[in-house]
Amino acid sequence: MTSQPPIAKRVPSERVHHGDTVIDEYAWLQNKDDPETIAYLQAENAYTEEATAHLGALRDALFNEIKSRTKETDLSVPTRKGGFWYYTRTVEGKQYGIQCRRAVAIGETDPPSTGDGSPLPGEEVLLDGNELAAGRNFFALGTFDVSPDGRWLAYSCDFDGDERFTLRIKDLLSGDVLDDEIPNTFYGSAWSGDGSVLFYLTVDEAWRPNRVWRHVRGTPTAEDEIVYEEPDERFWVGVDLTRSEKFIVIDVHSKVTSEVHVIPADLPTSPPRVITPRRQGVEYSIEHHGHRFLILHNDGAEDFALAYTSVDTPGTWTPLIEHEPGTRLLEVDAFARHMVISLRSGGLTGLRVMPFDGGPSYDIEFPEPIFAVGPDANPEYDTSTFRLHYGSLVTPDSIYDCDLDTGALMLRKQKPVLGGYDPSRYEQHREWAIAEDGTRVPISIVCLRDTPRDGSTPLLLYGYGSYEHSMDPWFSIPRLSLVDRGVVFAVAHIRGGGEMGRRWYDNGKMLAKKNTFTDFIACAEHLVKSGWTASDRLVARGGSAGGLLMGAVANLAPETFAGIVAQVPFVDPLNSILDPSLPLTVTEWEEWGNPLDDPDVYGYMKSYSPYENVADRRYPAILAITSLNDTRVLYHEPAKWVAHLRATAPGAKVLLKTEMGAGHGGPSGRYDAWKEEAFVNAWVLDLVGRAS
């Protein structure tokens, strides 16, 4: 490599909070409209391309491996709703899925399949993402919502990656798209019972969904009415239709508090009625069942309990499932005769079936020691069949139907892995690291069978650790290209996530956030001490809030890692959380704390913020990836971080890659996403000496 890395200009910008003066020399990069900003990002892209040019053949090989292992023309397991089977098809050579349905044949009970992924006889194409995306660099589908009578489809599209969608309505009888076009909407919608009214969401200037609107199909959108508006900037709003199709549900929630309102689906012009007024620190959600609302809540129940209240006069909560410490209740799915509870215990997910007739409850059993299971699409209310998805680090994603009366499982489909995939070639392990305070932290591991534990093996350690989001074991086709080359893959289930219950989350947020970082370091050190790898062949990877984790551990324990992959990384959290005008900031104060008003929070965040703590030290090699149109973690955070690293630690090997036409999730098409993954994995393999 001959060229020098880009050096960003320094423009001192002073910030003063709580008597602390900070000079931010790269704040100018926040101006997306400044040609110098774009020029800097393009220069970084050019430098990254040159620095990785020698990996071109490896990238191509990795992409082709992903492609050759993937059944490109395929069909999802059809889901029944009313008189139709709904499913998605993919076609070889096409980037996006095709949303379809087919009428249920007389006497048909099992979902149809062609086996080869070709269209089902009698298929009706509802939306073709490839046609919608034609001529666009980016495409994402937001809402996809068929009315209860099956006649109308509400759908929304984003062509920039900023998650601001344009909502449209399609007549599925005629195939015509109506003139009802609504720009700048958010995810989520709900139809009235007769399909005459559509409820949808819009956001405020800080990209917070704060308004629920009522649109009468076929009328000018200028006549739409606001049904609910949330003034408290800590709260988001969502809207949905219950499985029973009896109620429109308006869910209002902050990070720690929630409130639910309902509107009868057959009386869509009725005002919303609150189930239980919000109380700070109490979270609850509802599920409709007959004459009652089931209420999943944490009122005096850290890991949540289940209660119910009357539909006609909601008020007192009557206990149904008592709180059981250590068993986190996640979700309840109610059907006419059964309910299914999604839960986690001991670091693993589970499903518990409870009949409403008083019969015995039971847990659905699975054979593997490490796995992830949860509900799949279950739109029908009057059914005794429950669809679930299952997978592990070695078992491809699998769709089962469970007979709720007997507990019997029917495998409907396992994701094909072409090329002779043999799960017996691999093994998975669960180990436990000991954190600084003595807490046992679980680690999930997958590797080739009989991998030596003498420190000679490269290892990729993944982490997240925020928002109670759990990184449960998952199967990955792209990962096979790493593992087959002798790389061990591990997931650190660190605090801040939800793997071990609500307390696991609480002990990794606010003024306990550093536990997230030290847990990850403890996991890395455990893997080295146990012989799984050595520090000079250990690479860490994380994205978004997991990118914050990457930046923090790069400062705290740079000697522990050979490399770090930080994708859309939240590496300038203090500056972002200090600015209430930025997207998400106020809603995030209950996750990170409010440094604007609280000097203790300010000092604590400053002590771990990756950007604030860059120093002239030896850093591991760093690959940072971001997107120009990302709304959740703005592109300037990694851009500033990389510029600061270059200026402060001149010896650091740092690369920045910016997707110039994408959002938080990166490229939108599946082939483009595979190329991005091949790019990352080639960089990792090169770093650990497994590129050949």
pLDDT one-digit tens code per residue, 261-304: 999 999 999 999 999 999 999 999 999 999 999 999 999 999 99
- Residue 513: exposure state from Cβ atoms within 10 A (0-12, 13-18, ≥19): buried
- The number of C-alpha atoms within 13 Å of 234 and in the hemisphere containing its C-beta is 16
Radius of gyration over alpha carbons of the chain, in Å?
A: 25
Query: Which whole-number Å values give the CA distances from 139 to 39, 161, 168, 429, 659, in the listed order?
Result: 25, 7, 15, 38, 14
What was the pLDDT predicted at 308? 98
Q: What is the 8-class DSSP label of residue 675?
A: H
CB distance 459 to 487 below 8 Å:
yes
* Angstrom distance (rounded) from CA 470 to CA 146: 30
What was the pLDDT predicted at 1? 47
| Catalytic, out of 254, 544, 576, 668 | 544
- Is 544 labeled as catalytic in the residue annotation? yes
What was the pLDDT predicted at 666? 84
Direct distance between the N- and C-terminal alpha carbons of the chain, in angstroms, rounded to an integer: 19
| Catalytic, out of 74, 333, 664, 668 | 664
Q: What is the pLDDT of residues 375-426, one digit of tens each?
A: 999 999 999 999 999 999 999 999 999 999 999 999 999 999 999 999 999 9
Q: What percent of the chain has pLDDT over 90?
A: 95
Q: For residue 678, which amino acid is it?
A: A
pLDDT band at 2 (very low <50, low <70, confident <90, very high): low
| Catalytic, out of 24, 180, 519, 630 | 630
Least confident of 360-364, 390-394, 629-633, 637-641: 629-633
Mean pLDDT of the region 185-205: 97
Mean pLDDT of the region 575-582: 92
Beta-sheet strand order (sheet of 318-321): 284-289, 292-297, 305-310, 318-321
Q: What is the 8-class DSSP label of residue 365?
A: P
pLDDT band at 479 (very low <50, low <70, confident <90, very high): very high
Pairing of strands 538-543, 459-462: parallel
Model confidence, pTM: 0.96
What was the pLDDT predicted at 4? 87
- The number of C-alpha atoms within 13 Å of 423 and in the hemisphere containing its C-beta is 14
Q: What percent of the chain has pLDDT over 70?
A: 100
Place of tokens 């006649």: 151
Q: What is the pLDDT of residues 222-271, one digit of tens each?
A: 999 999 999 999 999 999 999 999 999 999 999 999 999 999 999 999 99
- The number of C-alpha atoms within 13 Å of 630 and in the hemisphere containing its C-beta is 26
- The number of C-alpha atoms within 13 Å of 50 and in the hemisphere containing its C-beta is 13
Place of tokens 């349905």: 101
What was the pLDDT predicted at 661? 85
Mean pLDDT of the region 356-383: 95
CB distance 304 to 323 below 8 Å:
yes
Average pLDDT, the chain: 96
- Is 636 labeled as catalytic in the residue annotation? no
Q: What is the pLDDT of residues 150-183, one digit of tens each?
A: 999 999 999 999 999 999 999 999 999 999 999 9
Instruction: Give the SS3 label for residue 361.
Output: coil
* Angstrom distance (rounded) from CA 3 to CA 5: 7
Does position 611 have pLDDT exceeding 50, yes or no?
yes
Of 663 and 645, the structure prediction assigns the larger pLDDT to 645
Does position 487 have pLDDT exceeding 50, yes or no?
yes
Does position 594 have pLDDT exceeding 60, yes or no?
yes
Pairing of strands 258-264, 273-274: antiparallel
Q: What is the pLDDT of residues 7-62, one digit of tens each?
A: 999 999 999 999 999 999 999 999 999 999 999 999 999 999 999 999 999 999 99
- Is 469 labeled as catalytic in the residue annotation? no
